[in-house]
Structure 1
Amino acid sequence: MHSDPILAGVIGNKQFACDVWGDTVNTASRMESSGVPGQINISSATFELVKDFCECEYRGKIPAKNKGEMDMYLVHNLK
């Protein structure tokens, strides 16, 4: 999970589809692919938003494809 601004829009003239674009989408994808099965993996941006409400474990700097090393956290419980 990652939190940051995104660009969203509708594509098509006859058959409409909604889509989202941007670095935020790519970063969220890296959080998902670098996650731990059965747990919630979040970025440092999301951690800053939830740290007062959730107990999180810092995983360290984890390599993420085309992003370098990123700070990642696992969410365990609500406070």
Structure 2
Amino acid sequence: AALEMQAFLEEQKQERMRIGKPYFEARIGIHTGSVVAGVVGVKKFAYDIWGDTVNIASRVEAKSEAGRVNISETTYGLIKYHFACEYRGKVEAKNKGMLDMYFVERELTGASVPA
């Protein structure tokens, strides 16, 4: 879904540039893990999520680039047989140290998980 979102935004960008209108770009970061989720509030309710997974996802997004999908090592381990990824190396993440990160390039066709 993230690659489809980026493709849509790129199409919109090209069209808007062609007609001289402003456009926007997005960077996407994905990390996988456990979270705590719930509704908070007394008068005004809000659904929220907490945990280290949320913090790492935020750092991964912050280290992405406009038009790209950046993922953590954990997420890479889950998708590596389904998507072509570019290893970025260890990237400094605020309050998290050096994290292995990857850019997702494209979906692999005919990919299957090894037995």
TM-score class, shorter-chain normalisation, is: over 0.9
Q: 1:64 aligns with which of 58, 71, 93?
A: 93
Structure 1 segments, 4+ long, off by >6 Å, are none
Identify unmatched segments of 5+ residues in structure 2: 1-29, 109-115
TM-score (norm 1): 0.96
The one-letter code sitting in structure 1 at the alignment partner of 2:31 is H
Q: 1:32 aligns with which of 42, 61, 65?
A: 61
Instruction: Give the percent of matched residue pairs that are identical in Structure 1 and Structure 2.
Output: 52
Residues paired across the two proteins, number: 79
SS state of the match for residue 87, structure 2? strand
Q: 2:103 aligns with which of 63, 74, 77?
A: 74
Give the Cα separation in 2 of the matches to 1:30 and 1:14: 31
Identify unmatched segments of 5+ residues in structure 1: none
The higher relative CO (CA closer than 8 Å, separation ≥ 6) is in 1
**Deviation of 1:14 (Å):** 2.9
Structure with the larger helix share: 2
**Of the two, which has the highest radius of gyration?**
2
Give the Cα separation in 2 of the matches to 1:38 and 1:23: 25
**The 10-residue stretch of structure 1 (58-67 or 9-18) with the greater mean CA deviation from structure 2:** 9-18
Q: 1:2 aligns with which of 12, 22, 31?
A: 31
